[in-house]
Chains A and B, each alone.
Chain A
Amino acid sequence: MEKDQDKILNDVTTGEYKYGFYSDIEMDRIPKGLSEEVVRLISGKKNEPEWLLDFRLKSYRHWLTMKMPTWPNLKIPPINYQEIIFYAAPKERKNLKSVDDIDPELKKTFDKLGIPLEEQKHLSGVAVDAVIDSVSIKTTFKETLAEMGIIFCSFSDAVKEYPDLVKRYMGSVVPYTDNFFATLNSAVFSDGSFCYIPKGVRCPMELSTYFRINSANTGQFERTLLIADEESYVSYLEGCTAPSRDENQLHAAIVEIVAEKNAEVKYSTVQNWYPGDREGKGGVFNFVTKRGMCKGENSKISWTQIETGSAITWKYPSCILRGDNSTGEFYSVAVTNNYQQADTGTKMTHIGKNTKSTIVSKGITAGHGQNSYRGLVKVLKNATNARNYSQCDSLLLGDKCGAHTFPYLEVDNQTAIVEHEATTSKIGEDQIFYCNQRGISTEDAIGLIVNGYAREVINKLPMEFAVEAQKLLQISLEGSVG
């Protein structure tokens, strides 16, 4: 492990975004722009049932009445929704039965990203759902998982094969009226992953979704729905990349998690959308709504995120702690370098008795980056003995970047104990010199210090991804102290 880690870290020699390539895949795209017609067209492309079209239309009509939020500490240029293509999918080949039937260009794309679609080649113990632009291409290990009753498939397949489950849970955690971007997603979402872990089952492998934006001028609007039935356990990962382009691209996703009684869900994200170039040109707008509901007693939902990509990030993976004794956790490392901006954090809503939440947020900012932590801890009237511990730290590299903290507390129960700690530090020249004097180069010194700072969060990730995350942190910050 240590050796692999060193090797990977040493392999990193250039600070360029290495997933910036574009694949020439035959695509089915609809005309750009957004209207009720477009919503119907998307639904039609996917042969959706009436109830789902209704859900989309309801969302679209509501969206027309909404305005983009202005409270984030972000400078977002105006977005022209009539210039975005809302649906793009690789042209389907008929009778897609085995991996061999997948467009070789597509397979190559995922191989290049290190995500082989052939099961035998894949990291053992990880099942992958690969999503490119608007659709899911391939879900590995589907059959193996099905033997245990685990459903892991694309959202579109779930709509066809398990409509009752989708109907019951979709929108139950993030309602279609929730917020501007969630409502937009509810109207035009294209695909995503669906996962159901039945009662009493411990999912034997990591489930993961790999998101890739490929087409130009295309928005990505995926939806993930994850249901952990009573006494079940699952660890879920998502990764994301996009080609380097001069124009901004919109990504507005929804993740909904439901944890029933005694269930536990770990959800990890390594977000590496294209961040834009050194001058701040291009990059993905990552406006995402992620929320989990600890519905049953003793349930637990844990979010871990490593956010290194995107020009602008706006996301608050949250937990609604409804079940008594339920637990919510949020561990985050957010990096902003060059002209990247991030306004990220979490919401922990304590409803049940003896509910517990932990928030650990580590912001790292360099260049002209702006990094804000925004978190809400809300304890409702009946949440007796609620506990929260929040820690948000900021690390600054250089003197042109900014770190901001916006903690909100709303406590309506006197028995609650809420703690908040915050620190801001700079990588000091003294620290770097100390490393230099022991023979460690400045670049490696920053890598050591940053990874040391983020260790608490990185340790929460599954092994393979922890290594990936360390590597990413180092790349994202290369050249930031000179």
Chain B
Amino acid sequence: MLIINNLKASIEGKSILKGISLEVKPGEIHAIMGPNGSGKSTLAAVLAGREFVEVTEGTVTYLGKNLLEMSAEDRAKEGIFLGFQYPIEIPGVSMVNFMKTAVNEHRKHKGLDPLSASDFLKMMRDKKELVEIDSKLANRSVNEGFSGGEKKKNEIFQMAMLEPKLAILDETDSGLDIDALRIVANGVNKLKRPDNSFIVITHYQRLLDYVIPDVVHVLYDGKIVKTAGKELALELEEKGYDWIKKEIENNLVA
């Protein structure tokens, strides 16, 4: 699905990612954890195609293609979805209109005809149920006046609508109460299939109580310093990030 090899990237000349390698296979859920400022969101931004991040070295192969050469909207249409840490408000543009445009762009890319209005609305209804999102949200402008929790649920709703092959959730759990967290997690679990993959970026372990990762990576200072199974998340929760920091410093000394 996704192969990242020795990826280095900087923002305004400041080096943030310092050589990241990882492979995500179809059907896998990878969790990327790490303290603030470790480069988690920068990694998500590179994968989604944000232009302010400059890739200085390394390769990213997605479904056999060079991802770094693709425009942001082509990546989206090829099945990459980014759940934003801070979803953007677009006043005056209704969720219905926004999603319809997006869904039909995806369909066009696959050589399919646009959905009829009734089929589209039915799809909206089904997916809304799936992620337990309030019906009224769909008639409002994109994220405008949504609470923090509503915004995050709305990201999961959009993910359900677009059925991505690779979903990257950037701290979707931050700022959520336990109910919203459960809804977000359930959304992920319901959408999980053997042929799609998730990268869940999170600061805390608690989301991983609901979404069970196959692989956990710890990102620290722009590098993956530890990779293991789901038990790593629990260990981190218990010992805190200081444990990782100390371990690294010890390694340096040694």
- A residues near B (Cβ < 8 Å) are 2-3, 6, 425, 428, 430-431, 433-442, 444, 448-449, 451-456
A-B contact pairs, 9 of them (CB 8 A): A431-B88, A434-B84, A437-B84, A438-B162, A439-B102, A440-B102, A444-B105, A448-B90, A448-B93
Roughly how many angstroms separate A16 CA and B87 CA in the complex, as a whole number? 35
Roughly how many angstroms separate A441 CA and B75 CA in the complex, as a whole number? 11
- Set of chain B residues within 8 Å of A442, measured between Cβ atoms: 73
- The yes or no answer to B91 lying at the interface (CB within 8 A) is yes
Roughly how many angstroms separate A437 CA and B117 CA in the complex, as a whole number? 23
Scan residues 68-105 of chain B and give those whose CB is less than 8 A from a CB of chain A: 71-73, 76-77, 81-82, 84, 87-94, 97-98, 101-102, 104-105
- Set of chain A residues within 8 Å of B34, measured between Cβ atoms: none
Q: Known interface pairs A431-B88, A448-B101, A449-B90. Does A438 touch B117 (Cβ–Cβ under 8 Å)?
A: no
Chain A nearest Cβ from B71, distance in angstroms: 7
Roughly how many angstroms separate A433 CA and B73 CA in the complex, as a whole number? 9
Q: Name which residue of chain B comes closest to A450, CB basis.
A: B92
Contact of A452 among B76, B90, B104, B117 (CB under 8 A): B90
- The yes or no answer to B106 lying at the interface (CB within 8 A) is yes
Chain A nearest Cβ from B52, distance in angstroms: 8
- The yes or no answer to B109 lying at the interface (CB within 8 A) is yes
Contact A430 B91 (CB under 8 A): no
Contact B87 A452 (CB under 8 A): no
Contact of B73 among A3, A436, A453, A454 (CB under 8 A): A436
- Set of chain A residues within 8 Å of B84, measured between Cβ atoms: 434, 437
Contact B93 A439 (CB under 8 A): no
- Set of chain A residues within 8 Å of B197, measured between Cβ atoms: none
- The yes or no answer to B46 lying at the interface (CB within 8 A) is no
Chain B nearest Cβ from A309, distance in angstroms: 23
Q: Name which residue of chain B comes closest to A423, CB basis.
A: B91
Roughly how many angstroms separate A433 CA and B87 CA in the complex, as a whole number? 11
- Set of chain B residues within 8 Å of A437, measured between Cβ atoms: 48-49, 72-73, 76, 81-82, 84
- B residues near A (Cβ < 8 Å) are 48-50, 71-73, 76-77, 81-82, 84, 87-94, 97-98, 101-102, 104-106, 109, 114, 117, 141-142, 158, 162
Roughly how many angstroms separate A310 CA and B71 CA in the complex, as a whole number? 36
Contact of B88 among A430, A444, A451, A453 (CB under 8 A): A430
Q: Known interface pairs A433-B72, A452-B141. Does A439 touch B77 (Cβ–Cβ under 8 Å)?
A: yes
- Set of chain A residues within 8 Å of B141, measured between Cβ atoms: 452
Q: Known interface pairs A438-B102, A438-B162, A444-B101. Does A452 touch B48 (Cβ–Cβ under 8 Å)?
A: no
Chain A nearest Cβ from B175, distance in angstroms: 18
Roughly how many angstroms separate A440 CA and B105 CA in the complex, as a whole number? 7
Closest 4 CB pairs of A and B: A452-B92, A452-B93, A438-B102, A436-B72
- Set of chain B residues within 8 Å of A425, measured between Cβ atoms: 91
Q: Known interface pairs A439-B162, A444-B101, A449-B93. Does A434 touch B73 (Cβ–Cβ under 8 Å)?
A: no
Roughly how many angstroms separate A2 CA and B121 CA in the complex, as a whole number? 13
- Set of chain B residues within 8 Å of A434, measured between Cβ atoms: 84, 87-88, 90, 142
Q: Known interface pairs A437-B72, A441-B73, A449-B93. Does A2 touch B88 (Cβ–Cβ under 8 Å)?
A: no
Q: Known interface pairs A441-B73, A455-B92. Does A436 touch B106 (Cβ–Cβ under 8 Å)?
A: no
- Set of chain B residues within 8 Å of A440, measured between Cβ atoms: 73, 101-102, 105
Contact B76 A439 (CB under 8 A): yes
Contact A452 B88 (CB under 8 A): no
Chain B nearest Cβ from A362, distance in angstroms: 10
Roughly how many angstroms separate A435 CA and B93 CA in the complex, as a whole number? 11
Roughly how many angstroms separate A173 CA and B114 CA in the complex, as a whole number? 51
- Set of chain A residues within 8 Å of B82, measured between Cβ atoms: 437
- Set of chain A residues within 8 Å of B71, measured between Cβ atoms: 436
Roughly how many angstroms separate A14 CA and B157 CA in the complex, as a whole number? 34
Chain B nearest Cβ from A478, distance in angstroms: 17
Roughly how many angstroms separate A425 CA and B92 CA in the complex, as a whole number? 13
Q: Name which residue of chain B comes closest to A444, CB basis.
A: B101
- Set of chain B residues within 8 Å of A444, measured between Cβ atoms: 101, 105
Contact A453 B91 (CB under 8 A): yes
Contact of A2 among B81, B117, B142 (CB under 8 A): B117
Contact A439 B73 (CB under 8 A): yes
- Set of chain A residues within 8 Å of B102, measured between Cβ atoms: 435, 438-440
Contact of B76 among A431, A438, A451 (CB under 8 A): A438
Query: Which residue, A2, A434, A439, A440, has most C-beta atoms of chain B within 10 A?
Result: A439
Q: Known contacts A437-B84, A439-B102, A442-B73; can you find 18 more A-B pairs with CB under 8 A?
A: A3-B117, A425-B91, A433-B72, A433-B88, A434-B84, A434-B87, A435-B90, A435-B98, A436-B49, A438-B98, A440-B73, A440-B101, A440-B102, A448-B90, A448-B101, A449-B92, A451-B93, A452-B92
Contact A439 B109 (CB under 8 A): yes
Query: Which residue, B89, B93, B109, has most C-beta atoms of chain A within 10 A?
Result: B93
Roughly how many angstroms separate A299 CA and B234 CA in the complex, as a whole number? 72
- Set of chain B residues within 8 Å of A433, measured between Cβ atoms: 50, 72, 88
Roughly how many angstroms separate A455 CA and B98 CA in the complex, as a whole number? 14
Q: Name which residue of chain A comes closest to B74, CB basis.
A: A439
- Set of chain A residues within 8 Å of B109, measured between Cβ atoms: 439
- Set of chain A residues within 8 Å of B94, measured between Cβ atoms: 452
Roughly how many angstroms separate A439 CA and B77 CA in the complex, as a whole number? 5
Q: Name which residue of chain B comes closest to A456, CB basis.
A: B92
Roughly how many angstroms separate A448 CA and B92 CA in the complex, as a whole number? 9
- Set of chain B residues within 8 Å of A451, measured between Cβ atoms: 92-93
